């Protein structure tokens, strides 16, 4: 009943774009972390999310679903096949409201879940004459600086939806490919279709603590720099740095790999 109520409250999307997102491995900086995301969008609202993560969160949003989730885990352990346990694939949600010019970002720093709201900046894209085909659509190249990184995007004027993966948008067409100039972060569309799927609210949204963008980024960085230390500090215990077998930190410093937004320093 809860799921039906959420769907009833939601707007319907006009398009659905699937993306493969690549990002650096926090252990060594290698760009080998792959996640699958989806953009559901219409002219006034959109949500960028991981379908698998949303499925897990939807289960845990009701007592019945939580019981089902726990039974799935129990069955996987009893059968010795842990691959049967669905695992979150990308942890954040980006919800844009074009009508009131707001963006809500849901993510976690360690065990703490945060949400913040920001007013999207006026985009200053430089559109070039370069073109290429993506998924059969002719796309145009554009570049911009955003929150500490330079982004290179390819958008399709054939699809007049001013939106894109993650926080990106502000172009006269949907962004089907985008990457930072150092290729550390990228989003590449793998499929696009018309749809009437509901853009449902984020499940378990009341579990996210409200904060602001830079405070969240600092918390995320602090956890990556010293995960156990952050947990101990939160719990009031001694600060310990988690290390691997040879004594190196499990997560690299920001000199090796930094966050997708770097203007928090």
DSSP one-letter code for 13? P
How distant is the alpha carbon of residue 87 from its chain centre? 15
d(CA 210, CA 6): 22
Instruction: Print pLDDT tens along the chain (265 aa).
Output: 444 445 445 899 999 999 999 999 988 889 999 999 999 999 999 999 999 999 999 999 999 998 988 888 888 788 888 777 778 888 899 999 988 899 999 999 998 999 999 998 789 999 999 999 999 999 999 999 999 999 999 999 999 999 999 999 999 999 999 999 999 999 999 999 999 999 999 999 999 999 999 999 999 999 988 877 655 556 555 544 444 444 455 566 666 789 999 999 8
3-state secondary structure of 11: strand
**Parallel, antiparallel or unpaired: strands 112-118 and 209-211:** parallel
3-state secondary structure of 84: helix
Q: How many CB atoms lie within 10 A of CB 210?
A: 8
d(CA 196, CA 89): 24
Range list of H helices, 127-240: 213-225, 227-235
Q: Note the pLDDT of residue 247.
A: 47
| The model scores a pTM over 0.85 | yes
Q: Note the pLDDT of residue 150.
A: 98
């Amino acid at each position: 009943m809860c799921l039906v109520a959420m769907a009833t409250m939601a707007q319907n999307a006009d398009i659905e774009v699937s993306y493969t997102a690549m990002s650096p491995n926090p252990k060594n900086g290698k760009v080998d972390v792959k996640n699958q995301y989806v953009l559901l969008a219409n002219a006034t609202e959109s949500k960028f999310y991981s379908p698998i993560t949303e499925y897990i969160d939807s289960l845990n949003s009701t007592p019945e679903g939580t019981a089902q989730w726990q039974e799935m885990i129990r069955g996987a352990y009893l059968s010795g096949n842990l691959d049967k346990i669905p695992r979150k694939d990308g942890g954040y949600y980006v919800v844009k409201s074009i009508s009131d010019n707001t963006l809500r970002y849901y993510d976690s720093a360690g065990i703490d879940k945060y949400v913040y709201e920001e007013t999207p900046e006026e985009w200053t894209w430089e559109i070039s004459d370069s073109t290429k085909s993506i998924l059969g659509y002719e796309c145009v190249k554009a570049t911009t600086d955003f929150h500490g990184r330079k982004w290179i995007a390819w958008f399709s004027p054939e699809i007049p939806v001013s939106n894109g993966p993650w926080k990106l948008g502000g172009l006269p067409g949907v962004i089907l490919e985008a990457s930072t100039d150092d290729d550390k972060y990228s989003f590449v569309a793998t499929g696009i279709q018309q749809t009437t799927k509901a853009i449902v609210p984020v499940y378990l949204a009341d579990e996210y603590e409200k904060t602001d963008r830079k405070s969240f980024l600092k918390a995320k960085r602090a956890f990556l720099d010293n995960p156990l230390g952050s947990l101990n500090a939160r719990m009031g215990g001694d600060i310990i740095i988690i290390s691997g077998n040879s004594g190196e930190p499990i997560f690299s410093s920001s000199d090796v790999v930094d966050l997708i937004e770097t203007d928090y320093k």
